[in-house]
């Protein structure tokens, strides 16, 4: 099979995931009234933070949702804006970014109707991260996104340029254990998922919506992105370890 083009991925991800509910059209959610939209966000928050994704509170603790205060945060691949809202509630300055313009508009609406000022911009295939000399970030929060990017190295390089020295790139990625769960085999070290005959089985197992998914372990994160980042933390978030939280610190 062919890897989806950037334009195809924009269309696919304009239906962002709402945990344990499904993929919802961001345009349709934008048309909801405030009460109904807030109900969707509250339901998603309950499913994520009280469910299997947050095993032993690891999602929140490893990704720093309860310990980050007074920082400049970019939620990269913001989807509906759930975690941007968490950062804003904790007293951080937040921007949102996504390849879908509708997702950006939706996330901005979610934050603003909860009383928070927020900036937003659309990611393009030629400008993977917004960079401003007057506005660089302390934290880039990138959850459930990097493993869906077919060419991640230039994106991560751009993320490094958008971070202050010592800034953090916070990731939730599918792990090598996710590959093993889906295929029954350990992945080849440092390999790209699409190089394997199990590729379609793998991404169909974890996310049939996106059309592409890779896997990461600590070694792969270091080898691919070590020019710009040090892997400071790498921990499973879920009981089976299919989701991993990684904190990369800018060199």
* Model pLDDT for residues 200-228, shown as the tens digit of each residue: 999 999 999 889 999 999 999 999 999 99
Burial class (CB in 10 A: 0-12, 13-18, 19+), 69: exposed
Q: Long-range contacts: 43-49, Cβ < 8 Å, 24+?
A: 43/18, 44/18, 44/19, 44/20, 44/80, 44/82, 45/82, 45/86, 47/19, 47/20, 47/21, 48/19, 48/82
0.95 surpassed by pTM: yes
Largest CA distance in the chain: 49
Q: Residue 134's pLDDT band (boundaries 50, 70, 90)?
A: low
Q: Does 6-250 carry CATH code 3.40.50.150?
A: yes
Alpha-carbon distance of 116 to 2, in angstroms, equals 41
DSSP E strands: which ranges in 48-128?
72-76, 93-98, 119-122
Find the angle CA(8)-CA(11)-CA(13) to the nearest 5 degrees. Answer: 105
Average pLDDT of the segment spanning 125-143: 85
Query: Do 187 and 196 contact (CB within 8 A), yes or no?
Result: yes
Average pLDDT of the segment spanning 28-43: 98
Average pLDDT of the segment spanning 178-207: 97
* Per-residue model confidence as pLDDT tens digits over 72-97: 999 999 999 999 999 999 999 999 99
Q: Which residues of 22-58 are buried (b: 16+ CB within 10 A; e: fewer)?
A: ebbebeebeeeeeeebeebbeebeebbbeeebbeeeb
């Amino acid at each position: 099979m062919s890897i989806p083009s950037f334009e195809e991925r924009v269309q696919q991800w304009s239906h962002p995931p709402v945990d344990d509910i499904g993929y919802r059209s961001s345009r349709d959610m934008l048309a909801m009234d405030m009460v109904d939209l807030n109900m969707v966000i509250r339901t998603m928050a309950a499913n994520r933070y009280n469910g299997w994704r947050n095993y032993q509170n690891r999602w929140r603790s490893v990704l720093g949702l309860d310990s980050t205060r007074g920082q400049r945060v970019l939620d990269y691949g913001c989807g509906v804006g759930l975690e941007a809202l968490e950062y804003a509630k904790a007293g951080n300055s937040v921007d949102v970014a996504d390849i879908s313009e509708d997702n950006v508009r939706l996330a901005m609406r979610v934050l603003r109707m909860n009383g928070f000022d927020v900036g937003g911009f659309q990611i393009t295939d030629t400008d993977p991260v917004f960079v401003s000399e007057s506005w660089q970030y302390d934290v880039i929060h990138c959850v459930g996104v990097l493993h869906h990017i077919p060419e991640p190295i230039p994106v991560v390089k751009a993320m490094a340029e958008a971070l202050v020295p010592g800034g953090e790139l916070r990731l939730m990625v599918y792990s090598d254990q996710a590959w093993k769960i889906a295929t029954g085999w350990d992945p080849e070290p440092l390999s790209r998922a699409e190089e394997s005959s199990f590729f379609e089985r793998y991404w169909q197992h974890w996310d049939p919506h996106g059309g592409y998914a890779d896997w990461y372990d600590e070694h792969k994160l270091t080898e691919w992105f070590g020019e710009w980042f040090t892997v400071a933390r790498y921990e499973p978030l879920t009981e089976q370890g299919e989701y991993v939280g990684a904190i990369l610190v800018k060199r």
